[in-house]
Structure 1
Amino acid sequence: MDSRSWLVLQPDPPELQLPDDLRARDPFGGRDCGWVAQMRPFARHYAAPGARVFDPFCGFGTTLLAAALEGRAGCGLEVDPARAELARERLRRHGVDAPVATGSLPDTSAPAPFELCLTNVPYFGCRWPGDGDARAGQLYLERDYEAYLRRLRDLFHAVRGALPEGGYCIAMAQNLNLDGRSLPLAWDLAGILGGLFVAREERLLCYEREPHTLASGDAGTDRSHEYALVFQKQRERICLHSTGDELQALRDAGFAFGLYGSYPRWLADPGAREPADADLLLPDDQAEFDRLLWWLHERHYRLSLWGEPLHPPLRLPRLREHWYVRAQRRDRLGRLVRLDLALAGHAERQAQAPMR
């Protein structure tokens, strides 16, 4: 892989395409089967030889086959039992020993540890023709776009928990056109991943298609591209100076809070590892907590609850269920302030920070 931000992909040779007899056994006719050529450069570039590559939307085993061709191991999850069996059969024909489990994150764990998550997400709005148990859990079947995005967030949250520090999560997606309306799936997915990982880059994947002339004013395109969104699990360092200024601004505004975790340890020992956030312990007071959220909102902080965007107010029972609210903002120089807000009365007793 070179430095170009785009790749022009060529169709797979016949020997790597989904065999016709397996395609005929699929309710979709295999029309949503991806290309091995799409996944090979990413498996080669982002996973070391012998490393394991995981696909949480395994489908027909395309990513796992690509990983094997590049000297990497593979494992996958597929929610549809019939497709999982098709993937196993396809891999067996290529002599590839890669576990494919039936199920979906977060309810079903990956069948093996992995160093790279590489996948193409199921697209919203598909008319899945399967029935019975095969329909259970299908993202294809989500009737509501926000519910679909929430499920993607939960799934990639589980990926983050299993991915080792420094590992990459690469998801491929295309913005959609449903009934003449544009749906920014790729960009919404990037927002979800940005709440869980550190954004590294994007690649534009281009497919050669024969163009045709459009009528004047016709905004349609042939959708001959998609995005490869490259994210990494890594502790992104906050700006310590800006964080100190914001904590002082909180005190000046009359907010009581305690500090615990890595930030006060760094204050006590500046030679310690720099913190990735500042953890705040707050009084168990609904009115004061709402005031704080609005104060942060007015200072243009992005508020989230486990990656899901949050707009104040927030009831304290829900905060207790999710442990903390994350508030972060970035200035024009890229300096990051990240505050994690938890209730002092609900925190573990290791956080013995005085209120001040």
Structure 2
Amino acid sequence: MDSRSWLLLEHEDPAYRLPDDLRQHDPLGARDCGWVEQMRPFIRQFSRPGEQVLDPFCGFASTLVAAHLEGRRGLGYEIDPARAELSRERLRRLNAEGAEVIASDLLEAPPADPVDLCLTNIPYFGCDWPADAGPAQLYAAAHYEQYLDGLVERFHRIRDLLAPGRHCILMAENLRLGDRCVPLAWDVAQRVGGLFELCEERILLYPKPVEPLPAFSSRSDRSHEYALIFRKQGSTLDTDDALTLLRALRDAGFAFAIYGSFATWLTSTSAQPPADVDLLVAPDEDRLNALLGWLQAHHFRLSCWQQSLTLPIALADYRGRYYFRAERLDRSGGLLRLDLTFEQDSEPVAARLDRTQICQGLLVAS
């Protein structure tokens, strides 16, 4: 792979294409089967020989075939048992002994060893999937937000599986559903960007015959998609900006306690600079809305589990989610991130924080 921001895919090698007899066994004719050539450059660039490549939406195992050809071990999850078996047969014919396809939703899979690269074509929204599909089949999601929520839930699991510092690369395309253009690739980039650090993108180009358009028509042949390149790493926090913000919050009368990595950094000269600021706030709906409103007025984007917040919030709607996130990006690329914890998921955490100090806005180390 070189520095070009695009990759032109002109030819699919018939030796590694999904065989026609297997294609015919799929009810949809394997129309969503990706190219092996699409995946090979990313495997070479972002993994080493012998390492493990994960495809959480395995489909017909094109990613696993590419991993095999590049000397890597492939691990795929495929929720549809029939497709999983087609994938296994495809891999058997290529003697890809180091590849494994598990017929399961990733969320239902048992714990696994860390993987070195996640590389996948995401299942697209709006697919005409058979009506008997279960609720975990993202192809069959009836509504867009339902689809995005399910996708992000699985990328939470992928983050747990991916080794620190390694890459998660997903192929996504903006869609046209009827007369409506749906920015799926951009929405997914924003949602998944709350779990990983977005590093770069590549545009994948597939030549198609060119047709003239009638006047004022904006339609295209959709002959491109995006490779969104994420990495499992923490952002570097500008600690001076963070301290300035915390003083402003305290001067505005907001009550909070600082804990976690930022509190450790404050109290230790040898601690690494943190990636964000963890604040413990009282679970008071009015005070929380006032605090979130102040942050929003100071140009912070508010979210909870990668979903945007609309103020005022009803705290009862967020029980069990534990925190709100506030992020502000400046023009130099600096990101200031706060996680506002309003309830604890374990007593030991709560026990380390003196609740009388929360109301005073004192700094509390973890």
- How would you bin the TM-score normalised by the shorter chain? over 0.9
> How much does 1:302 deviate?
1.2
CA distance in structure 1 between the aligned counterparts of 2:343 and 2:211, rounded to whole angstroms:
63
Paired residues of 1:169 and 1:231 also in contact (CA < 8 A): yes
Instruction: After superposing the two structures, state which structure 1 stretch, 226-235 or 254-263, moved more.
Output: 254-263
Q: Which residue of 1 aligns with 2:105?
A: 104
Q: Note the aligned Cα RMSD (angstroms).
A: 1.7
**Which residue number in structure 2 is paired with residue 276 of structure 1?**
275
Superposed, which structure 2 residues align to 1:161-310 within 5 Å?
161-310=160-309
Q: What amino acid sits opposite 1:54 in the alignment?
A: L
- Deviation string, structure 1 residues 61-117 (Cα, Å, up to 9, x no partner): 100000110111100101100000000000000001211111223233576541111
Cα distance in 2 between the residues matched to 1:27 and 1:110: 32
Answering whether residue 325 of structure 2 is matched by residue 350 of structure 1, we say: no
TM-score by length of 1: 0.95
Q: Distance in 1 between matches of 2:344 and 2:294?
A: 22
- For the pair 1:115 / 2:116, whether they are aligned, the reply is yes
1:71 equivalent in structure 2: 71
Shift of 1:287: 1.3
Gap change, CA 1:105 and 1:313, over 3 Å in 2: farther
Displaced runs of 4 or more, over 4 A: 109-112, 344-347
Q: Does structure 1 retain, via aligned residues, the 8 Å contact 2:135–2:141?
A: no
1:126 equivalent in structure 2: 127
**Aligned partner of 1:88: which letter?**
R
Contact kept? 1:283, 1:345, Cα under 8 Å: no
> For the residues of structure 2 that align with 1:211 and 1:299, how far apart are their CA atoms?
48
In 1: Cα distance, 2:190 partner to 2:111 partner: 24
Deviation, 1:138, is: 1.7
| SS of residue matched to 1:170 | strand
- Letter in structure 2 aligned against 1:176: L
Native 8 Å contact 2:114 2:163 kept in 1: no
Alpha-carbon distance between aligned partners in 1 of 2:273 and 2:232, rounded to the nearest angstrom: 17
Q: Does residue 36 of the first structure (1) align with residue 36 of the second (2)?
A: yes
Amino acid at match of 1:58: C
Q: Amino acid of the residue matched to residue 177 of structure 1?
A: R
| TM-score, length basis structure 2 | 0.92
Mind listing any 5+ residue stretches in structure 2 that lack a counterpart? Answer: 361-366
Q: Report the identity percentage.
A: 50
Name the count of aligned residue pairs: 354
The alpha carbon displacement at 1:136 in A equals 4.9
Trace 1:48-63 onto structure 2 (pairs within 5 A): 48-63=48-63
Tell me if 1:12 matches 2:20: no
The match for 1:88 is: 88
Deviations 1:172-194 (A, max 9, x none): 01111111211111111111111
Partner residue of 1:2? 2
Distance 1:55 1:345 in 2: 33
Alignment of 1:333-344 (within 5 A): 333-343=332-342
Deviation at residue 352 of structure 1 after TM alignment: 4.3
Deviation of 1:315 (Å): 3.1
Please say if residues 57 and 123 of structure 2, whose CA atoms lie closer than 8 Å, have aligned partners that are also in contact.
yes
Tell me by how many angstroms 1:316 deviates: 3.1
Of residues 109-118 and 300-309 in structure 1, the stretch that sits farther from structure 2 once superposed is 109-118
SS in 2 for 1:42: helix
